[in-house]
Amino acid sequence: MTGDYYRVLGVERNATTEDIKKAFRRIARETHPDANPGDPALEARFREAAEAYEVLSDPERRRRYDRGDTIDLGDLFGGLGGLDEMLRSVFGDSGLFGGRSPRPVRGRDVVVHVEVTLEQAAFGADVPIQYQTRVDCPRCIGTGAEPGSRRVTCGECGGAGQVRRTQRSLFGTVMTSSTCPRCGGEGSLTETPCTECQGSGTVIQTVEVTLEVPAGVGPGTRLRLSGRGESSGVAGLKGDLYVEISVAEDPRFERHDNDLWHRLRLGIAEAALGTRVEVPLLDGGMFELDIPAGTQPGELFRIRGEGMTILGRRGRGDLIVIATVVVPTTLTLEEEDLMRRWADLRGERTDRPAPS
């Protein structure tokens, strides 16, 4: 924002905090999108004033602004309720228009589920995700009013937002008052509702965002994307998007926290005589592993630093290779012959008659 905050609010540079508040109140009443649906120029003016007020109303921020510093307000309109919070502090709980809270303060949160591969979970990835959510109607920019249409006083309640009823009963005359059903308590109505969203201010759309999956995520990791949830239709006050991560099974590896297990299938001769094998690595490479003679089923070989990335840190867990020895279930005649001779040599009893 480049404009002069003092000029935006129309106050002198030595204005008191009270002057600044008064000036903002006046501008906000005139320009708030709820009072002026479908007027982008006024909405821009409102946002500008809100930003100016946010800086000048805070003595510390104002001092830094006067000194020429750039003030980062974060995302004032981004959906953490910051703007709403600020308006409440200026106007009190009754709100900008005296007790009429036109729409929900903040859109609902949206939860989506994303499955990533084990490799993406280990090294992090940018994953595009699509989801359906309520967004500000592009035609009326969330105001619910047909562009060019005015706001008119509600005929039902005469602008009070409340309707009163008088009832006669045995005990005399009773007056009850309730929220006006026609305007929902707002006291005014849009002359012509937006043709695109039928006046709701929001439409359902498919939204695509790129999710930055951090290296080391595990199943059950929940990521929050602030302000990417549903719009409530008012000046961009949006809910958050929560992404629940699950990690797809990988036939090569089992994950145990930061370590990966790989089951290595060895033949009887390989285990007995020793061999050199290639073990798959998560990044696509291969590791040459020496299997010593006499390796037993269940024996472990640790390859350091080839496991999962440790979330939020730099290091990686290990890849643990578990030896399994595969006993053949079928033998050719020649193999069987050899096996029997071998059994004789070792004194192993194989009494069962040979299958014919």
The separation between the first and the last C-alpha atoms of the chain, rounded to the nearest angstrom, is: 90
Contact string 153-172 vs Zn ion (x = CB under 5 A): -x-xx---------------
For Zn ion, the closer CB: 231 or 309 = 231
- Binding segment for Zn ion (CB under 5 A), chosen from 33-41, 103-111, 187-195, 223-231, is 187-195
User: In the structure encoding, which two tokens stand for residue 302, read together?
Assistant: 């640790």
The DSSP string of 24-70 is HHHHHHHH-TTTSTT-HHHHHHHHHHHHHHHHHTSHHHHHHHHHTPP
Query: Hey, how many other C-beta atoms are within 10 angstroms of the C-beta on 347?
Result: 6
Beta bridge partners of 210: 128
User: In the structure encoding, which two tokens stand for residue 174, read together?
Assistant: 């009773």
Within 48-107, the residues that bind Zn ion by CB under 5 A are none
For Zn ion, the closer CB: 154 or 234 = 154
For Zn ion, the closer CB: 23 or 194 = 194
Collapsing DSSP to helix, strand or coil, 250 comes out as strand
- Binding segment for Zn ion (CB under 5 A), chosen from 95-103, 112-120, 176-184, 214-222, is 176-184
For Zn ion, the closer CB: 193 or 307 = 193
Nearest distance, CB of residue 105 and Zn ion, angstroms: 19
For Zn ion, the closer CB: 156 or 318 = 156
Among 25, 61, 139, 252, binds Zn ion (CB under 5 A): 139
Rounded to whole angstroms, the Cα distance separating 120 from 193 reads 47
Rounded to whole angstroms, the Cα distance separating 323 from 278 reads 13
Nearest distance, CB of residue 22 and Zn ion, angstroms: 29
Among 50, 112, 137, 282, binds Zn ion (CB under 5 A): 137
For Zn ion, the closer CB: 136 or 270 = 136
Nearest distance, CB of residue 247 and Zn ion, angstroms: 40
Contact string 188-217 vs Zn ion (x = CB under 5 A): ------x-xx--------------------
**Which pairing describes strands 241-247 and 110-116: parallel, antiparallel, or unpaired?**
parallel
Is 183 near Zn ion (CB under 5 A)? yes
Nearest distance, CB of residue 204 and Zn ion, angstroms: 12
For Zn ion, the closer CB: 189 or 320 = 189
Region at 69 (left for phi over 0; alpha for psi -120 to 50; beta for the rest): beta
Q: Which residues of 275-307 are buried (b: 16+ CB within 10 A; e: fewer)?
A: bebebbbbeeeeeebebeeebeeebebebeebb
Contact string 97-136 vs Zn ion (x = CB under 5 A): ----------------------------------------
Rounded to whole angstroms, the Cα distance separating 73 from 48 reads 12
Interface with Zn ion (CB under 5 A): 137, 139-140, 154, 156-157, 180, 182-183, 194, 196-197
